[in-house]
Amino acid sequence: MTKTTQSSRPAVKSGTFVIGGDLTVNRLGFGAMRITGSGVWGEPKDRDEAISVLRRAVDLGINLIDTADSYGPEVSENLIADALYPYPEDLVVATKGGFDRPGPGVWKENGRPEHLRAACDGSLRRLKLQRIDLYQLHRIDPKVPMQDQIGTLLDLQREGKIRHIGLSEVSVEDIEAVSQLATIVSVQNRYNLIDRKSEKVLEYCTRHNIGFIPWFPLATGDLTKPNNQLSQIAQQLHAEPAQVALAWLLKKSPVMLPIPGTSKVKHLEDNVNAALLELNDSTMGELDSLSSS
């Protein structure tokens, strides 16, 4: 039997966070959007590789996988179940509902109660779950009263179909308004080293111990391009730029739950090794100065 070491499961080194007071996860997770086809539409080019990525993620100590019914649509959730069901006991599969997908690269908010209920039921079926541990409203639909959208999630929670409720792409004001109706345990906003428009939201989540899931954590490769200041810092640390950018996120706040995604096992392994990288205050200061927002 091969002895499991911390270095063989590097995500363990990212530290832990307790979502909603009862779901303990390693802070470096995996985002399952990019295992779908081009435009987040259809099946991946290499299905076997996508399955391998998901299984390798768990091998590396990742126990938080973020997906959505709209990724594919439906493709990402189906792949997760095909690769990992029956799930490891400590694995949290978080999913989202609230978008229609009429075509590749096209996203339209749909927060109508009947849509959210059907979306949740579909996710339960595809993921082969009795209950979704973290169900996130993918967007607050401005065309639908917020009380109707959150009320539907509360109904699903009371029915035992979802355990905890999260939000995505919201302001501090949105969080406070929704929190008058429901307990919010996570917020998923766009945030990375060079795009910090959600800084106030991150600060709010840190104060209130709400998990902050930064999507676009590597700016779709922009942060990994050569010959920039980040690459120079990475060279000094004998690391890859992506690893430095992820290590910066992990050190930025104890509620930060980065979910870098990829369709390649090699990229996954490189990303997860960011959890082994320790940044000192001087390096953090240099990286903080790179913000363009």
* DSSP SS3 for 242: helix
Contacts of 289 (CB under 8 A, 6+ apart): none
Residue 238 forms part of a structural domain: no
Residue 6: predicted pLDDT: 53
Residue 281 forms part of a structural domain: no
Residue 24 forms part of a structural domain: yes
Q: How many CB atoms lie within 10 A of CB 238?
A: 8
Local confidence band at 292 (pLDDT 50, 70, 90 cut-offs): low
Residue 271 forms part of a structural domain: no
pLDDT, tens digit, 9 for 90 and up, residues 241-287: 999 999 999 999 999 999 999 999 999 999 999 999 999 999 999 99
Residue 45 forms part of a structural domain: yes
Helices (H), 89-188: 113-127, 146-158, 172-179
Domain of residue 91: give its range.
10-222+253-263
Residue 219: predicted pLDDT: 81
User: Which residue has tokens 């927002």?
Assistant: 293
Q: Which of 118, 48, 120, 110 is nearest to 77 (CA)?
A: 120
Q: Which of 234, 237, 214, 215 is nearest to 224 (CA)?
A: 234
Residue 230 forms part of a structural domain: no
Instruction: Assess whether pLDDT exceeds 50 at residue 127.
Output: yes
Domains in the chain: how many in total?
A: 1
d(CA 144, CA 150): 10
Q: Are 81 and 62 in contact (CB under 8 A)?
A: no
44: amino acid identity, one letter: P
Residue 133 forms part of a structural domain: yes
* Residue 191 among the catalytic residues: no
Round the average pLDDT of the chain to a whole number and report it. 95
User: Active site residue: 71, 87, 135, 191, which one?
Assistant: 71
Cα–Cα separations (whole angstroms), residue 142 to 119, 130, 175, 213: 18, 30, 15, 22
Residue 232 forms part of a structural domain: no
Residue 5: predicted pLDDT: 46
User: Which residue has tokens 């990402």?
Assistant: 76
Instruction: Assess whether pLDDT exceeds 80 at residue 227.
Output: no
Residue 223: predicted pLDDT: 73
Contacts of 105 (CB under 8 A, 6+ apart): 39, 40, 41
Contacts of 48 (CB under 8 A, 6+ apart): none
Local confidence band at 220 (pLDDT 50, 70, 90 cut-offs): low
d(CA 223, CA 100): 30
What percentage of the chain reaches a pLDDT higher than 70? Answer: 95
Instruction: Assess whether pLDDT exceeds 60 at residue 3.
Output: no
pLDDT, tens digit, 9 for 90 and up, residues 143-197: 999 999 999 999 999 999 999 999 999 999 999 999 999 999 999 999 999 999 9
Contacts of 96 (CB under 8 A, 6+ apart): 66, 67, 68, 69, 70, 135, 136, 137, 138, 166, 168, 188
202 membership: H or E segment, kind and range: helix 199-208
Q: Are 65 and 87 in contact (CB under 8 A)?
A: no
What CA dihedral angle connects 21, 23, 29 and 33, to 10 degrees? -100
Instruction: Assess whether pLDDT exceeds 50 at residue 2.
Output: no
CATH number, domain containing residue 62: 3.20.20.100
Tell me, what DSSP letter sits at residue 135? E
pLDDT, tens digit, 9 for 90 and up, residues 26-62: 999 999 999 999 999 999 999 999 999 999 999 999 9
